[in-house]
């Protein structure tokens, strides 16, 4: 009897939507493949007040290592900077829009937001970028899934929230109140907009199935951005951002670190061959550290 491919994912609506994209892609390539999607509650789901990125992958990775599932689907930005021993990043499907978006309670015209508007975000990076862009804003921390955050805007509790464009697109939550933010002011989190399909490093069947979904430019960009984050310390509490793109077979990466209040920012760029994507990320991070960005990463430096 043919054994179904078991896929682990978080149970949130966005995680399920992302996993559905992976499942559909698998079935297009292997129409007779049996697929069993298994929602898993992570430590980050159980304790939303903690909610750092590794907390949204740890339980799923444990299920993968324990052979309870064969593949795991994550938001690539939630992955730790290095894969747990025994696991590997088998595939990154084509990346969605990596930009951040401002979702407002009503149209505000060219200014996007009124003076002293209240904006919700749980991300130190977004908070620092918002305050650099508009020091008059009041940025408050919010938790919860996408629908919870959007609800707080719809009832007027917040003037706006900042969310990833990719998540809004995957949930069908795009409207005239969603405004993409430019990279010049809002460089995204490392690997934002990309999906990560993990497998056990010794599971040849699952690896082969997953690798058929891989989009090499996206995978290279994710490798570069994760290497950038790892070199800077890999902590999602640090206001850091990075975006890599492949242009004419060369990978170009731009990265930054900011102070918590957004008043200080260091940016650097680098390029290199796709095959050395991780080295490009490490080089750009080292450049930031050498130019003084390391001060922002030290205790009390921001």
CA dihedral 133, 190, 229, 244 (to 10 degrees): -100
Of 70, 300, 301, 85, the residue nearest 208 (C-alpha): 70
The helix/strand/coil state of 42 is coil
Distance CA 30, CA 212 (A): 10
Plot region of 10 (φ>0 → left; ψ -120 to 50 → alpha; else → beta):
beta
On whether the CB atoms of residues 57 and 78 are closer than 8 A, the answer is yes
Instruction: Tell which residue, 187, 185, 190, 130, has the closest CA to residue 158.
Output: 130
Rounded distance between C-alpha atoms, residue 286 and residue 281, angstroms = 9
CA–chain centroid gap for 86, Å, is: 22
Catalytic residues: 78
């Amino acid at each position: 009897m043919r054994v179904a491919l078991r896929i682990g994912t978080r149970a949130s609506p966005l995680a399920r939507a992302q996993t559905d994209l992976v499942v559909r892609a698998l079935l297009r390539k292997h129409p007779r493949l049996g697929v069993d999607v298994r929602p898993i509650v992570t430590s980050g789901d159980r304790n939303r007040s903690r909610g750092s990125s590794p907390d949204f992958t740890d339980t799923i990775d444990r299920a993968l290592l324990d052979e309870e599932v064969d593949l795991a689907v994550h938001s690539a930005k939630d992955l730790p900077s290095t894969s747990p021993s025994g696991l590997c990043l088998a595939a990154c499907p084509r990346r969605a829009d990596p930009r951040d978006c401002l979702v407002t309670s009503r149209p505000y015209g060219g200014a996007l937001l009124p003076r002293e508007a209240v904006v919700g975000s749980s991300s130190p990076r977004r908070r620092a970028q918002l305050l650099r862009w508009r020091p008059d804003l009041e940025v408050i921390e919010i938790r919860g899934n996408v629908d919870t955050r959007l609800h707080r805007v719809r009832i007027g509790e917040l003037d706006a929230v900042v969310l990833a464009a990719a998540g809004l697109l995957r949930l069908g939550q795009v409207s005239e109140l969603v405004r993409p933010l430019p990279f010049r002011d809002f460089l995204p989190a490392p690997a934002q907009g990309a999906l990560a399909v993990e497998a056990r490093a010794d599971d040849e069947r699952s690896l082969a199935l997953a690798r058929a979904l891989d989009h090499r430019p996206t995978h290279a960009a994710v490798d570069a951005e994760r290497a950038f984050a790892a070199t800077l310390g890999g902590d999602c509490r640090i206001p850091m951002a990075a975006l890599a793109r492949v242009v004419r077979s060369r990978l170009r990466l731009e990265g930054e670190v900011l102070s918590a209040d957004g008043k200080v920012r260091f940016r650097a760029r680098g390029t290199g061959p796709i095959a050395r994507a991780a080295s490009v990320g490490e080089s750009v991070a080292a450049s930031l550290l050498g130019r003084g960005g390391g001060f922002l990463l030290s205790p009390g430096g921001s």
